Amino acid sequence: MNASAVAPASAAGPTASAPPLLVAIDGPAGSGKSSVSRAAADRLAFGILDTGAAYRSLAWAALRAGVDLDDERAVLELLETWGFTITMRGEQWVTVTLPAEEGAASGDPVDVTAEIRDPAVSAQVSRVSKHPAVRERLNEMFRRIVAASGLPGVVIEGRDITTVVAPEAPVRILMTASPEVRAQRRAGELADMSHEQVLADIAARDAKDALVVDFFTPAPGVTLVDTSDLNFEQSIQAVVDIVRAVQRAAEESKR
Ligand SMILES: Nc1ncnc2c1ncn2[C@@H]1O[C@H](COP(=O)(O)OP(=O)(O)O)[C@@H](O)[C@H]1O
Ligand SMILES: Nc1ccn([C@@H]2O[C@H](COP(=O)(O)OP(=O)(O)O)[C@@H](O)[C@H]2O)c(=O)n1
């Protein structure tokens, strides 16, 4: 597996050699994890790792390569041979490289940034994320990417970050919002789908994903941020405030 994160050299500050401060954020679809995490990371001069983008890219690759998404061994084999890159600062940019023998992408990186958000991929991604061995391999990849980032801090967001990927993170947040609000937000992004269709799609995906990890209940020590009644700016501020409080406490404990 050839995976890397693209972080501009300027993103690495004077603390580049120290391990990054980890901010772990989980939550269901449409709660605001990705967009709020990205904006909060920018404000904190941290990087961001969108783990859902990796699961989406793997589903995209399996569909493109004609791999049976329900076949754990076949998906693992694909993981051994694919290439994956994701930006951790600035605009999100995601590429996937399929092995040359798969033909479709002939060994060249493909920009999948937009395509992995397509409802056709969203509807299939739970079929690859349900495999425990696939999750283990991707979790190792996430930890490697964060450790090699050279960034002062990384917001890492997904479904099992607070509990499995980085349970030791100094900041752990579960971001929620009511199903109605989540569907309304997503429907705003998917112009040609009705609110009811988006609500049904989100509910179906959450139900499948929840069979594998619990992202509705905060684990002990995890702070719940319910964005149902928060606007975008208030949601960003809620995350930034939590991180700043932890940074202040760490500074004070050093004195
Ligand atoms: N607190 C909020 N208030 C209003 N809109 C929001 C809020 N949080 C996120 N959004 C919008 O909702 C949509 C879904 O957010 P997103 O970050 O993709 O959610 P998730 O990553 O949890 O699926 C995006 O268009 C985003 O801009
Ligand atoms: N840490 C993670 C992140 C995503 N996923 C899977 O990847 C899919 C896409 O995640 P996402 O975060 O991009 O989804 P949205 O919440 O943005 O719709 C989820 O539906 C899960 O199946 C996961 O299993 N574990």
Tell me the CATH number at 113.
3.40.50.300
Atom of ligand 1 nearest to the CA of 188: 25
What's the CA gap between 102 and 25, in Å, rounded? 35
State residue 10's pLDDT score.
Answer: 36
- Cα atoms found within 13 Å of the Cα of residue 67, Cβ hemisphere only: 29
* The residue to which tokens 């009705």 are assigned: 194
Q: What would the two tokens of residue 237 be?
A: 């501020």
Mean pLDDT of all residues in 127-138 = 98
Mean pLDDT of all residues in 192-211 = 91
pLDDT band at 9 (very low <50, low <70, confident <90, very high): very low
Q: Please give the share of the chain, as a percent, with pLDDT higher than 70.
A: 91
Asked whether residue 253 is domain-assigned, the answer is no
Q: Report the SS3 class of residue 63.
A: helix
State residue 107's pLDDT score.
Answer: 75
Q: For ligand 1, is residue 205 a contact (CB within 6 Å)?
A: no
Q: Which of 84, 92, 109 is nearest to 37 (CA)?
A: 92
State residue 38's pLDDT score.
Answer: 96
Asked whether residue 11 is domain-assigned, the answer is no
- Angstrom CA distances, 248 to 183, 192, 221, 226, 241, stand at 36, 46, 18, 23, 10
pLDDT band at 188 (very low <50, low <70, confident <90, very high): confident
State residue 192's pLDDT score.
Answer: 81
Asked whether residue 255 is domain-assigned, the answer is no
55 CA to centre of ligand 2 in angstroms = 7
Domain that holds residue 115: 2-6+21-246
pLDDT band at 154 (very low <50, low <70, confident <90, very high): very high
Q: For ligand 2, is residue 159 a contact (CB within 6 Å)?
A: yes
Asked whether residue 254 is domain-assigned, the answer is no
Asked whether residue 173 is domain-assigned, the answer is yes
**Which tens digits make up the pLDDT trace of 213-249?**
999 999 999 999 999 999 999 999 999 999 999 999 9
pLDDT band at 17 (very low <50, low <70, confident <90, very high): low
Least confident of 7-11, 69-73, 109-113: 7-11
Asked whether residue 140 is domain-assigned, the answer is yes
pLDDT(41) > 50 = yes
Asked whether residue 252 is domain-assigned, the answer is no
- Cα atoms found within 13 Å of the Cα of residue 204, Cβ hemisphere only: 12
72 CA to centre of ligand 2 in angstroms = 18
**Taking a C-beta distance cutoff of 8 angstroms, is the pair 210, 130 a contact?**
no
Q: What is the pLDDT of the chain when averaged over all its residues?
A: 91
Site to probe by mutation for ligand 1, drawn from 185, 202, 216 as the one with most ligand atoms within 8 Å of Cβ, is 185
Residue 161: nearest ligand to its CA?
A: 2
Asked whether residue 135 is domain-assigned, the answer is yes
pLDDT band at 92 (very low <50, low <70, confident <90, very high): very high
Mean pLDDT of all residues in 108-121 = 95
Q: What would the two tokens of residue 18 be?
A: 């120290």
216 CA to centre of ligand 1 in angstroms = 17
Q: What ipTM, to 2 d.p.? A: 0.97
16 CA to centre of ligand 1 in angstroms = 30
State residue 22's pLDDT score.
Answer: 98
Question: Which residue has the CA at smallest separation from atom 9 of ligand 1?
Answer: 32
Question: Which residue has the CA at smallest separation from atom 22 of ligand 2?
Answer: 126
Q: How many domains in the chain? A: 1
Please give the distance of CA 158 from its chain centroid, rounded to a whole number.
4
Q: For ligand 1, is residue 158 a contact (CB within 6 Å)?
A: no
Q: What would the two tokens of residue 87 be?
A: 């930006």
